[in-house]
Structure 1
Amino acid sequence: MSSKRERESERRRQEKFEQRIADKEQSRHGARRRNAVVAVLVAAVAVVGVVVATALSGTGGDEVAADPATAFAEDPTAGTAAPQDPATGGAEPAPTQDPASQDADNPCPPGPGPVQPVQVDEQPPPAEGPVTMTITTTCGDVVVELDGDAAPQAVGSTVGLARAGFYDGTPCHRLTTSGIFVLQCGDPTATGTGGPGYRYGPVENAPADDVYPAGTIAMARAGNDPQSMGSQFFIVYEDSVIPSDGAGGYTVMGQVVEGLDIVQQVAEGGLAPDGVAPARSIGIVSIDVEESA
């Protein structure tokens, strides 16, 4: 009898032990499920937080403005935090050669891509009187007459940079073809943000009526910042109205007297696939400066 009772008692203890094991396993499984749910919820909240923070801060996109009527932060058609682009934009560097540059009517060989700029940190002195610059491009010579009396800072800076070789081998990285008609050059990086180690202002010799006739050569700058001019300039190839902003208009240095047809032929090719650079690539080989006595 005692043996039977002992076996029965052992059986009940075994059952209880197994039940406790099962209960613990079920408890651990429930905890794992709860932890997984909490982790998913935490991750979801984190993602929502990032999205909201991005929306409120305005980040997550290109900081460079791209409105062709805002400023020429050295880009004659849009404002940008970087001082150089009359139509600003955070453009990608212009390709050294695009298939579109090989169209039958293209007068130009493939133009240059971004280059390492010559370092110029000190602003050259103001200019006086008329200055003639022959801009030798990959498509031919463009000759401009600059007025050092009307825009002494801009002309002096541009002449000084040209003599230092700053512009040599640089691409003309931006073309605008709607409303404002300009070809922008002078940024060795081809991004719309490059320039020398200095900036200057204020705006000089801007037209009161915001009209920039074909052949005008003017300085690009950042939107609403009159102290943001550097090396970038633009050539107007068709009469354009470029609205002033909080900084005023754009510093007109002078006029193209020969070779405007070259710029117009480049413009006829339209835009490259990036929507910023000219499809018919053009760049500056060198600039020769001749100041009148």
Structure 2
Amino acid sequence: MSSKREREREYERRRYEEWQQRQVRSRARHHRQRIIAGTVVGALVLVIGIAAAVVLTSDDTPPAAEPTTPVDTAAPDAAARTGNGGVVPDPAAAEDRTWTGTIQLAQGPVEVELDGAAAPQAVANFVTLAREGYFDGTGCHRLVTSGIYVLQCGDPTATGQGGPGYSWGPVENAPADDVYPAGTIAMARVGNDASSMGSQFFLVYEDSQIPSDSAGGYTVFGRITSGLDVVQAIADAGTVEGTQTPVDDVIIEGVETQ
């Protein structure tokens, strides 16, 4: 009898030990599955996070306006210079008169005439920044050679995102027919935002029709009187493939106004 009970106890003991082993294996398996699942979820979160970062910071997205529209942004980059102490210049500084001046590019001088009567805010802004040396050493970062024909300058960061630490508006002296003749000097701005002008401007080297948007046209504040051939030569050299960056480094060495 005792022998039979001992065999039964031994049998139950082995069953219990096997059950324990199965439990251990089961817990280990579930633990591995949780680790794998956590790793997969973590990887997915990482991928989603990276994708979101790319969407938010991609340089491939076009400017606020169409690529054929000169633009500027009001928020200055960390490396941007502050102009006029970050305060919008008084339009009275344009003195309601015609100004003359020279934009000295590395490629040669561009003589200009500025209309302080028709665009007092823009001229006051340009003259004030020029006198401070704000434009000195900055690059003309954008060259458009199709659709419209402009060389965009005035961004100390050369990214299209720089400015003087302030923005202003509204649009002044925009052409009613949206035609900007060769030699026109106009302010760049963000599409559909009339109060986003800062320091960036563009030089038109061939007649261009630039459509107005909900904010209107673009502030024309001057014209090139000599040196259009300098800008044309920069355009003829072309852009870096796949970009609107001029092949030649176009640096403003200085701006004089009187």
Asked if TM exceeds 0.5, the reply is yes
CA deviations on 1:50-77 (whole Å, 9 max, x unpaired) are: 58x96xxx746456436234x4333xxx
Distance 1:165 1:246, change over 3 A: same
| Correspondence for 1:173 | 141
| Correspondence for 2:229 | 261
TM-score, normalisation: structure 1: 0.74
Q: Distance in 1 between matches of 2:57 and 2:229?
A: 41
Matches within 5 A, 1:140-159: 140-159=108-127
Counterpart among 191, 195, 198 of residue 166 in structure 2: 198
**Percent of counterpart pairs with the same letter?**
49
Residue pair 1:83, 1:220 contacting (<8 A) in 2 also: no
Counterpart among 98, 103, 117 of residue 81 in structure 2: 117
Residue pair 2:74, 2:165 contacting (<8 A) in 1 also: no
Distance 1:249 1:46, change over 3 A: same
How many residue pairs match? The answer is: 248
- Stretches of structure 1 that go unaligned for 5 or more consecutive residues are 75-81, 85-92, 94-113
Q: Secondary structure at the residue paired with 1:284? A: strand
Q: Distance in 2 between matches of 1:204 and 1:168?
A: 25
- Stretches of structure 2 that go unaligned for 5 or more consecutive residues are none
Q: Distance in 2 between matches of 1:174 and 1:139?
A: 16
| Correspondence for 2:70 | 72
Q: Secondary structure at the residue paired with 2:149? A: strand
Distance 1:134 1:41, change over 3 A: closer
| Correspondence for 1:237 | 205
Q: Distance in 1 between matches of 2:31 and 2:107?
A: 71
Counterpart among 210, 213, 221 of residue 189 in structure 2: 221
* Aligned residues: CA RMSD: 3.1
| Correspondence for 1:24 | 23
CA deviations on 1:226-248 (whole Å, 9 max, x unpaired) are: 11111111000111000000110
TM-score, normalisation: structure 2: 0.83
Q: Distance in 1 between matches of 2:232 and 2:251?
A: 14
Residue pair 1:216, 1:256 contacting (<8 A) in 2 also: yes
Q: Secondary structure at the residue paired with 1:178? A: coil
Q: Distance in 2 between matches of 1:25 and 1:124?
A: 78
Distance 1:226 1:118, change over 3 A: closer
Residue pair 2:80, 2:163 contacting (<8 A) in 1 also: no
Residue pair 1:216, 1:235 contacting (<8 A) in 2 also: yes
